[in-house]
Amino acid sequence: MAFRTLDDADLAGKRALVRVDLNVPMEDGKVTDDTRLRATVPTIEKLRAGGAKVILLAHFDRPKGKVVPSMSLRPIVAPLSKVLGLPVAFAEDCVGPKAREAVNALQPGEILLLENVRFHAGEEANDRKFADSLAANGDLFVNDAFSAAHRPHASTEALAHRLPAYAGEQMRLELDALDRALGHPERPVLGIVGGSKISTKLDLLRHLVTKLDKLAIGGGMANTFLYAQGHDVGASYCEKDLADTAREVIRLAGQNNCKLFLPVDIVVAEKMAPGAPARVRDIGHVDEDERILDAGPETVERLCRAMGNSKTLIWNGPLGVFEIPPFDKGTMEAARHAASLVKAGKLVAVAGGGDTVAALNAAGVVDDFTFVSTAGGAFLEWMEGKTLPGVAALNQ
């Protein structure tokens, strides 16, 4: 896909409307994780260096088209200013007189945050008139919110058709990384898909077996595959009604020459609690009161060998209940092995999804992967092969 970047833009004196992701976790009015704030820095710095006036558009939470004071972006101003090391002005609306007055007061290099775009029903409706109102305050549009690119909203899609549109630095990083992982990867390509439910990742699994050379399935969803193959899973979480679907995925993998890696041994316990007595079992040898909570050592060793024989890794979802030791061991070992291969220059590793990022952080390797996306739903839809409206709108 060909899209314009800020390298192509004349920025001097221009009003740059920048769609960013400031939907950060908050507790008692304070930001508890500033990852998404820090992700805005490269684009804002580039715009300021070019002499642009930086006008930030963002959403927070789900006010559903109404003004909800507790969902205002105002509390983001101070932490964003701290991350940037620069003052950030704030306007109490994203359109109309208040926004226009604040934009008109800006000097080149200054930064303004407009109020929550979702306070207007026109945002989620992708309304043309609302997009026109947003566009009135800009000379160019920069989309730097890949995490919102799967939503056809006014500030992600319609606005890109009203002003010269560019991908921001974070958006460019995301798109380049995903192209390296799935678009034009170095082969062989290995995918790891984990998590609890196969039902939430059906489209993903069906698509990946047509794209990858190898696919490893872990987490709770692996239990459904084991059950579909006739193995006893005891008291484990298992979507037994999706056994036919699991068999369909296995069949599709065979038809597309995608080697499927399912657990060959597992870690079980009677309780999912920190420090609970855990035992390694061969698949199928699970007592009726035992639950499968992690991949076994042989399964992890086999997965690590598959990584070593691959050039590209794309990862979404943990291998077990990584939040509760000792059921974090499989995910931690696999993550650290992948990181060591990346550092040795032997593997391109791209990962994404909330649980995946949390697991890589817990393993202490999030900075060692080639790229880790914080985009969640957009990352998943991209992996499913779906067109993302906010990305398609940037296509030249």
Structure tokens, 225: 């595959």
Residue-by-residue DSSP string for 71-103? G-SGGGHHHHHHHHTS--EEES-SSHHHHHHHH
Ordered by start, the domain boundaries in the chain are 6-170, 177-383
28 CB-contact burial (10 Å; exposed 0-12 / middle 13-18 / buried 19+): exposed
- Which CATH code is given to the segment(s) 177-383? 3.40.50.1260
Q: Is 26 in a helix, a strand, or coil?
A: strand
Tell me phi and psi for residue 121, to 5 degrees.
-60, -25
Q: Is 287 in a helix, a strand, or coil?
A: coil
- C-alpha 60/C-alpha 90 separation (Å) is 15
Beta pairing partners, 191: 215, 314
| Topology agreement, domain 6-170 and domain 177-383 | yes
Q: Is 276 in a helix, a strand, or coil?
A: coil
Beta pairing partners, 192: 216, 315
- C-alpha 64/C-alpha 195 separation (Å) is 29
Full-model pTM: 0.88
**pLDDT tens digit at each of 396 positions of the chain:** 688 999 989 999 999 999 999 999 999 889 998 989 999 999 999 999 999 999 999 999 999 999 999 999 999 999 999 999 999 999 999 999 999 999 999 999 999 999 999 999 999 999 999 999 999 999 999 999 999 999 999 999 999 999 999 999 999 999 998 888 888 999 999 999 998 888 889 889 999 999 999 999 999 999 999 999 999 999 999 999 999 999 999 999 999 999 999 999 999 999 999 999 999 999 989 999 999 999 999 999 999 999 999 999 999 999 999 999 999 999 999 999 999 999 999 999 999 987 898 999 999 999 999 999 878 888 888 888 889 999 999 986
Catalytic residues: 36, 197, 354, 377
- Is the CB of residue 153 less than 8 Å from the CB of residue 124? yes
Report CA Rg, the chain.
23
Tell me phi and psi for residue 199, to 5 degrees.
-65, -30
Query: Candidates 3.40.50.1260, 3.30.230.70, 3.30.70.640, 3.40.1160.10; correct CATH number of 6-170?
Result: 3.40.50.1260
